[in-house]
Amino acid sequence: MTDGSEAGVGFRSGIVALVGRPNVGKSTLMNRILEEKVSIVSRRPQTTRHRIQGIHTTDSYQMVFVDTPGIHQSERKLNRYMVATAVAALEGVDVVVLVVEALRWTAGEDAILERLEGLEAPVIAAVNKVDRVTPRGKLLPYLDQLQQRYPFAALVPIGARKGENVDALEGEMAARLPEGVPLFPEDQLTDKSLRFLVAELVREQLFHQLGQELPYATEVVVERFSEQDQRTRLQATILVEREGQKAIVLGRGGRRIKQIGTEARRSIQTLLDTSVHLDLFVRVQKGWTRDERALRELGYEE
C-alpha cells in the first residue's frame, strides 16, 4: 500500500482540519492519534504557528490531519498570518473537527462558527478536557446547547491528553472520509522536514522555560544539520526582537540557554533516535514579528 496501488475497495482517505481557539488541545489530540509527537504543545495559547500535517494510516483508512494555529483576533502581523493559515486550512478538506473545551464557550467559538457557515465538509465537535469535569452530568446540558448552535455531524466528548474516548472520535472521522487511495505513503508521518521539527522542539522549550510574553517574540532557525560518526550535529539560532530579550534567553552566566538546550536535545534525540549534539545561539532581529519581509524569509506566508 506504500504507493497507494494496493489499497483495497472501500479504503477511505482524506484531509481532516483541526480548528478551534488557541490552547483547546488541537495539537495534543493530533499527537495522541498519531502516537507520535509531530506538533509541539504547551499550556500557553498560540503555540502552533504553522499549518502542520500529520498522517495517520491504518488498514482501512488514511487521515491527513491539518493542525492549525488557534483562530483569534490580533493586529500583530505574525498573529494575522497564523489566523489566515488556520482559515485557509478549511479549503478543500473532507472533515472539520472543531475542538472546544468542555463547559466553555466564548466569543472566539462564535467567530469560528461564522467561518464554518456554508462549508460543505461535515463538522464534528470534539469536546475536550472532559476528564476535568466533575460530576460528568454537567456535560449533558452543555452538549445539548452545543447541538443547538450548529448542525454538527457528531458530538464526541474526549480527553485528548490521556486518550479518553479518542478512538470513538477517530471512528466518526473515518466514517466521513471519501473512498480513495492513500494520499501519502503508509510509513510517512508528516509533510514537515526534520529541520522544521527540530526547530519546533527547541521553540517548545522556549515556551516551557521563559516568561509569559517572551516566547511569542522568539523564532528558531536551524543553521546546521549534519550526521558525523553516528551522531547528529545541530546548530540553531534563537531570534528575539530586543537586546533585553536576548539577555533573558541566555540567563545569568548562560544557564538558561544551557537548560533550554539540554531539554530540547532530549526531545530531538527521541525524534531522531540517535545521539545529538546541539549548539544554540541567540540573535537580535528587531521587530521581526511585524516585518513582512522577515516573516516571508522565515517561512511565514499568507
**Helix residue ranges per DSSP H, 75-138:** 77-88, 107-116
Over the stretch 109-160, which tens digit does the pLDDT of each residue have? 998 898 888 889 999 999 999 999 999 999 999 999 999 999 999 999 999 9
Domains 12-175 and 194-297 belong to one CATH topology: no
At the topology level of CATH, where does 194-297 sit?
A: GMP Synthetase; Chain A, domain 3 (3.30.300)
Over the stretch 145-158, which tens digit does the pLDDT of each residue have? 999 999 999 999 99
Answer whether 186's CB lies under 8 Å from 62's CB: yes
Q: What is the mean pLDDT of residues 245-262?
A: 95
How far from chain centre, in Å, is Cα 162?
Answer: 17
CA distance 196 to 161: 24
At residue 171, φ and ψ (nearest 5 deg) are -65, -40
Band (pLDDT 50/70/90 cuts) for residue 66 is confident
Q: 3-state class of 260 per DSSP?
A: helix
| Average pLDDT across the chain, whole number | 87
- Give the position of cell 452538549: 143
pLDDT score of 239: 94
Domain positions in the chain? 12-175, 194-297
Band (pLDDT 50/70/90 cuts) for residue 49 is low
With a cut of 90, say whether residue 43 has pLDDT above it: no
CA distance 170 to 183: 18
296 vs 242, more confident: 242
CA distance 216 to 76: 11
The CATH code for residues 12-175 is 3.40.50.300
pLDDT score of 4: 43
Answer whether 179's CB lies under 8 Å from 11's CB: yes
